[in-house]
Amino acid sequence: MRRHDASVRWFTTLVFACVYLGLAAGRIPGLGLDRAGIALLGAIALLAAGALGTAQAWAAIDAPTLILLFGLMAVSAQLWSSGFYAAITRRLSVLDASPQRLLAWLIAVSASLASVLMNDVVCLAMANAQTANLINVGAFARMKPTAYFINASRGELVDEAALRDALDQGRLAGCALDVGRAPDQMPTPSLAAHPRVLATPHLGGLTGPAITHQALETVEQVAALLQGRLPAGCVNGEHARRLRAFAERGQSAGSGNSSSSGA
């Protein structure tokens, strides 16, 4: 009996050591398990060896917490399918605010939603000199292994060595890149070839509606210039020294067309 008890204790210690090593690494080589799967596998091993009784296993399950988590997942799924998250994203994208204020809004909204709902997607959508290597080793370490990372902004926001390490070690479920540190903001080829990476050559935004909007917006901007007005969204209007010349040229063209029509 004593020998059996000692064997069980040694086996329990070995299981705990393997589980904690697996949790630290994010995966067990050769097995497609995340941290939750590793913990479950360890519990099954303890049950099979008799180191943990069925009654003890059931007592260790916190049913109210599991029900709460499942409920939040169901609520989050309903919000996503109803278009709530998309509506919030569109509202934030058209805010008339400075970069600092927009960043504050993004942080506030993201933190509010993440505090009560599942947060398995991190998406980058702005870049400036202060945010270089914003997503680094520490940022990836704080993400859940079920998280998906999306960069649709600028390659310099991300420490690519840290990203590759997180993907290799299973600390991220996946990654989507439309930009990178290759020439012309293209995703780095070696990173784009990673089995957990979905990459597009810096054209992810070229959807049908986006192309139509860009074409029509260009026409509206040219029309505004010919009328002597600054186009909507102009960020350097104080340097528009040739604006009056455009207006005069547009008026001359309009007069010429009127004369031709009268003739």
pLDDT digit string, tens, across residues 203-255: 877 778 888 888 999 999 888 888 888 888 887 777 777 776 666 665 665 55
Q: Is residue 259 one of the residues assigned to a domain?
A: no
Q: Of 61, 89, 107, which marks where a domain is finished?
A: 61
Q: Is residue 87 one of the residues assigned to a domain?
A: yes
Asked if 47 and 7 sit in the same domain, the reply is yes
Q: Of 189, 205, 221, which marks where a domain is finished?
A: 205
- The phi-psi region of residue 37 (left if phi > 0; otherwise alpha if psi is between -120 and 50; otherwise beta) is alpha
Asked if 134 and 187 sit in the same domain, the reply is yes
Asked if 78 and 55 sit in the same domain, the reply is no
How far are the Cα atoms of 52, 62, 156 from residue 59, in angstroms, in the given order? Answer: 11, 8, 49
With bands split at pLDDT 50, 70 and 90, how would you rate the model's confidence at 118?
low
Q: Is residue 49 one of the residues assigned to a domain?
A: yes
Asked if 83 and 145 sit in the same domain, the reply is no
Q: Please give the average per-residue pLDDT across 66-88, as a whole number.
A: 78
The pLDDT of residue 28 is 61
Asked if 74 and 105 sit in the same domain, the reply is yes
Cα three-residue angle 226-231-234, rounded to 5 degrees: 140
Please give the residue that has the higher pLDDT: either 73 or 30.
73
Q: Is residue 260 one of the residues assigned to a domain?
A: no
Q: Of 119, 136, 156, which marks where a domain is finished?
A: 119
Q: Is residue 131 one of the residues assigned to a domain?
A: yes
Name the domain count of the chain. 4
Q: Is residue 24 one of the residues assigned to a domain?
A: yes
User: Could you tell me if 35 and 145 are in contact, meaning their C-beta atoms sit under 8 angstroms apart?
Assistant: yes
The percent of residues above 70 in pLDDT, for the chain, comes to 80
With bands split at pLDDT 50, 70 and 90, how would you rate the model's confidence at 263?
very low
Asked if 153 and 127 sit in the same domain, the reply is yes
The pLDDT of residue 261 is 47
Asked if 105 and 157 sit in the same domain, the reply is no
Please give the residue that has the higher pLDDT: either 232 or 161.
161
User: Could you tell me if 160 and 186 are in contact, meaning their C-beta atoms sit under 8 angstroms apart?
Assistant: no
Asked if 127 and 176 sit in the same domain, the reply is yes
Question: Domain span at residue 242?
Answer: 208-254
Mean pLDDT of the chain, nearest integer: 78
Q: Is residue 165 one of the residues assigned to a domain?
A: yes
